[in-house]
Chain A
Amino acid sequence: MKIDRPPTIALFPEASFGAALNCVGIAQALRDRGARPVFICHGGFSGVFADYGFQEYHLPAAGTPSDTANYWQDFIKRHLPHFDMSPIDQIETYVAPTWEAIVDTAVEAEAPLGQLLARIRPDVVVLDNVVMFPAIAAAGCPWVRVVSCAETELPDAAVPPYLSGLAAADEAGRRAFEARYLAATEKVHARFNAFRAETGLKPLPRGQFLEASPDLNLLLTPTIVKYERKVPLDAERFFYLEGCVRSEAPFQIPDFPRNKGPLVYVSFGSLGALDVKLIQRMLDVFAGLPARFLVNVGGMRDAYEAVPDNVHLDAWFPQPSVVQKSDLFIHHGGNNSFCEALYFGTPSLIMPYCWDGHDNARRAEETGVGRRLDRARWTPEDLSAAILGLLGDEAMRERLAANGEAMRRRPGTARAADAILSLVTNVPSKVRG
């Protein structure tokens, strides 16, 4: 007798909250359709996916918790000053060293990942990362690439270079950025191609670390911020999800001693929460504004004193539910945060640190869905003006509200789940496609 088992979809997000929680949204939609989503993750994310009700398989973590704590102390000491630099000056200081670390993770994961995939025997693998893991290509099933960074991650002559924060029309800027980027990443790229060759994969063009999937590629990019590409993406293999927002518990707004005014949510992600100096400067400005502020400070709550009466600090917020109730979202330009703001029709004030945050900040300004503020160079007057300007921009608010409504009509999580399940052969009848 043939067993009618639900298809197993193995989701493998990189060890960052953006990709992890984006995949949670897709997994929730897959589960709703009767599939069996499971997660492959770094040991440090233990329990994150289980809390949403998903089976986890862990890759072995290198080093002890104490090694990790020391790593982060060094990371912050070394890189916080780099986050004040322009995108082009981050190439050698932050971007190239990060690519070295990313390639290390791919090399270390190869053998255990291959063993895990052989055990799980998934029907489809979903990879949400910026680097290729050859074991996935060898898993013997279709694989999906989720492009959860900005659209710039997929190169095109009409799209600014990835991580550059440039405007599409800035040709001189493009040439200068690309030259430095390719030079700085040449060594790590050669190392990665050599590793690929050992596993039987073809080399990738200079500057690229992940190929498109031959089966399916999912981009978070909503239409409102999409670029006109010189060479359009193949519609058979590339799907735009219009954001990809997970479901969280309804958020109940806390009681503020000064309980009046619009609600502003501030989160720079777990990395940005470590920058106490920046957030403290911002709190001093918030104190004088006629609004209420929810501020994500991660585990750093004890670093703050005399917090203003219109500010509420917390270690973690159920972000989608908070953004839904907010009048403005101040964030670092992480693509998940940016897409959540668009999904709920909330304007963004983007203060980017690094990576594609620069690209999203530029794009928000170009497309009129928010503003950009240099995190290292602002005065209290600049920050006040940006916040009050966005809160008072009724035209932007109306446009974003209409766009959010359209995005919510067919959520990206549902589009992603349907597209992924279309790759499964012999889908059981009880699994809704």
Chain B
Amino acid sequence: MPSVVKLPRKNHLDLAQRILEVARQQGMRPGAHLPEQQLATLCNVSRTPIRAALKVLAERGVATRESDAGYRLAVDLSLPADFDSGLPRAEEAALADAILRDRAARRLGGTITVTELMRRYNADRRTVLKAVLSLTDDDILQRAPGQSWVFRPIPDSPQSIAASFEYRLLLEPAAVLVPGFQLDGVKAAALRHGMEALLSRPDSEFGTREFQRLDIEFHRLIAQGCANPFIADALAGHLRLRELPGHAGSVNVFRLRQSTQEHLGILDNLEARQYEVAADLLKVHLRLSGNQRPQAANRGAPPLQGLIRRLV
């Protein structure tokens, strides 16, 4: 039976990630002091949870503790290393990941109950409920009558992936064109480093997961830069679905390299404030990325685009 090991509390991990975000925004360099009171004010919490979150960062080597001066930043946040994903997952977050993995592989049905999940993952009711509620908050699950939850559509079939690209084609270029677009320069620089490092690798070492991470971060950067909060929220919610297991269609290295180069071209234009050019390039990029293989092909037969109804 799959089980989830005991892990740190989710609120401490969330706060640790928030601290990194604040440190990035403040342009903190390695060795910079991480003042508890200031962080508590910026994160709108008391000093006690900040101290616990700093401890989590220290355990991961992202911060160091000095007995008299408190905590200092130990890493360069402008470099492409993914410190956030290096943090351990909270128990309920790890369970949510396992639920998503198993739904994508159709090990779980479209409707689930807390009791079923407790049995399957050998987890207590509180942890399962927290995981289910976090998936509900992310619009992945929806409460159904009785004690059950239903999975909402996610882009994991040829048709839903096509619909997802259609949605993004409407919103992502628009996000760039809304007056007041603001690019997060620090994140953009880190992404650029990451993409250039990926492109420098030979085909045999090309990391598809690394590509996927940078791809998601790149499109999230665009959503976050949008001056219209409704468009930004809608895009952020939808992009979250792209992180789910089962979504990633494997593509060959040539296209992944080309796609990364397209990201860099868009980034160049965003940094130069050429927003209309960036929006046009984004459209081309999404159209090329949305291309799908035929679902069936056989000699003498016309290749099938789209799905076929189940007959057997």
Name A's B-contacting residues (CB within 8 A). Answer: 14-17, 20, 42, 44-48, 50-53, 61-63, 65, 67-69, 71-73, 75-77, 80, 98-102, 104-105, 130, 247-252, 254-255, 257-258, 270-271, 273-277, 298-309, 311-318, 355
Contacts and interface: CB of A to CB of B under 8 A. Distances in A.
Nearest to A317: B250
A250 B204 contact: yes
Those 7 A-B pairs whose CB atoms lie nearest each other, nearest first: A44-B303, A101-B300, A47-B291, A257-B2, A102-B300, A53-B254, A277-B312
A16 B107 contact: no
A299 B307 contact: yes
12 contacts: A76-B308, A98-B299, A99-B300, A247-B252, A248-B253, A250-B208, A252-B208, A257-B101, A298-B295, A307-B106, A315-B158, A315-B249
A249 B206 contact: yes
B237 interface: no
B6 interface: no
Contacts of B158: 299, 315
Interface in B206-249: 206-209, 245-246, 249
B243 to A, nearest CB: 15
B109 interface: yes
Given A250-B206, A257-B98, A316-B250, A65 B109 contact: no
A249 B208 contact: yes
Given A250-B204, A303-B310, A309-B2, A53 B258 contact: yes
B125 interface: no
B106 A305 contact: yes
B252 A48 contact: no
B293 interface: yes
Contacts of B299: 14-16, 98, 101-102, 130, 355
Interface centre among A52, A72, A271, A277 (most CB of B within 10 A): A72
B291 A276 contact: no
Contacts of A72: 296, 301, 304, 308
A52 B254 CA distance: 6
Given A249-B252, A315-B249, 12 more contacts: A48-B293, A248-B252, A249-B203, A271-B297, A276-B312, A299-B306, A300-B308, A302-B106, A305-B106, A309-B2, A315-B157, A318-B250
B256 interface: yes
A313 B309 CA distance: 18
A16 B303 CA distance: 8
A270 B294 CA distance: 9
Contacts of A312: 105
B68 interface: no
Contacts of A317: 250
A17 B249 CA distance: 17
B145 to A, nearest CB: 21
B37 interface: no
Nearest to B300: A101
A277 B204 CA distance: 37
Contact of A302 (B157, B292, B294, B304): B157
Interface string B107-148: 101000000000000000000000000000000000000000
A255 B256 CA distance: 22
B255 interface: yes
Contacts of B109: 305-306
Nearest to B292: A47
B156 interface: yes
Contacts of B11: none
Given A102-B300, A317-B250, A69 B308 contact: yes
Contacts of A80: 311-312
B205 interface: yes
Nearest to A98: B300
Contacts of A65: 305-306
B106 A313 contact: yes
A106 B290 CA distance: 31
